[in-house]
Structure 1
Amino acid sequence: MTGLPVPVPDVSVRVRLNVGACGPYAHIVAHFEPPGADGGLELLSAVPQARLPREYLPALRTGLLEGLAGVDAAVLITDGTFHEVDSCELGYRIAGAQAGRAALIGAGLLPPEEAGALRWASWPGRPSGPAAVERRGAGGR
């Protein structure tokens, strides 16, 4: 396995599958760093439980592992929210996967064109342009 080579701060993901109706909802803001000496995925949350219940962290971790695709990283969740009715494990798994992919793009481990496939993710320096807009669709991120 390889490690994330550079920090990728302020990756924000807000999953809203059915805007205006019930559906999985998740919101996180994550700061990605190169891994510690032990490697692997280190996940810490600095978000109060009232804003992001700990029950969603295992699903978030699963999504991050999927999105990072074997790349080691230290991840600090700096913000997040949930919805009493619409939040579920699926939403946080999707959020984790999108955040992980965004970190790989932000670190230069995936081509910038891959950003267009990340419907709900944003980060400083996110590539934009016709290809990204076309893949996201008219609904935006």
Structure 2
Amino acid sequence: MKGLPLPVPDVCVRVLLNRGACGPYAHVVAGFEPPGAGGGFELLSTVPERRLPAEYLPALREGIVEGLDGVAAAVLVTDGTFHEVDSSELGYRIAGREAGRAALVGAGLLPPQEAEALRWASWPGRPRPRRQKAR
């Protein structure tokens, strides 16, 4: 398994489906680091339970693993929030997948153009969207 080659700090994902109505909501901030000595995937959270209940961490983990697509990394979740009604496992799985893809773009393992498909993710150094040419 290939490992993340360099750190990608402060990946922030805020999933807001159906803005103004019910829909999956998730918010996480995580730092991605190259894997530890064991070379595998690790996920730790420092977010208090009142801000991000532990029940959402398995879905977040699944999403991150999917987004990383076989690349090992150590991931530290440093912030997050939930909504009592609108948060769901689906929202955190989507957030995790976007965070994992963002880490791959940030580390140079995916081309910068891939950032355009990441609807809810931001991170320091995120490539700016290309402007559409006027017709």
Give the structure-2-normalised TM-score: 0.96
- Helix, strand or coil at the partner of 1:63: helix
Q: Share of identical aligned residues, percent?
A: 77
1:32 and 1:86 map into 2 onto residues whose CA distance is 27
State the 1:17 CA deviation. Answer: 0.7
Structure 1 residue aligned with 2:15: 15
State the 1:130 CA deviation. Answer: 2.0
Matched to 1:41, the amino acid is F
State the 1:58 CA deviation. Answer: 0.2
Deviation readout 1:86-108 (Å, 9 max, x if unpaired):
00000000000000000000000
1:29 and 1:60 map into 2 onto residues whose CA distance is 11
- Helix, strand or coil at the partner of 1:96: helix
- Helix, strand or coil at the partner of 1:61: helix
Which 5+ residue runs of structure 1 have no aligned equivalent? 135-141
Structure 2 residue aligned with 1:76: 76
State the 1:61 CA deviation. Answer: 0.4
Structure 1 residue aligned with 2:127: 127
1:49-128 equivalent positions in 2, closer than 5 A:
49-128=49-128
Matched to 2:84, the amino acid is E
2:81 and 2:72 map into 1 onto residues whose CA distance is 25
- Helix, strand or coil at the partner of 1:130: coil
Matched to 1:3, the amino acid is G
Matched to 2:46, the amino acid is A
Deviation readout 1:34-91 (Å, 9 max, x if unpaired):
0011122100000000000000000000000100000000000000000000000000
Aligned residues: 132
- Confirm whether residue 44 of structure 1 aligns to residue 73 of structure 2: no
Matched to 1:101, the amino acid is R
- Confirm whether residue 28 of structure 1 aligns to residue 28 of structure 2: yes
1:69 and 1:14 map into 2 onto residues whose CA distance is 21
Which 5+ residue runs of structure 2 have no aligned equivalent? none
Runs of 4+ aligned residues of structure 1 deviating over 6 Å after TM superposition are none
- Helix, strand or coil at the partner of 1:55: helix
1:129 and 1:4 map into 2 onto residues whose CA distance is 24
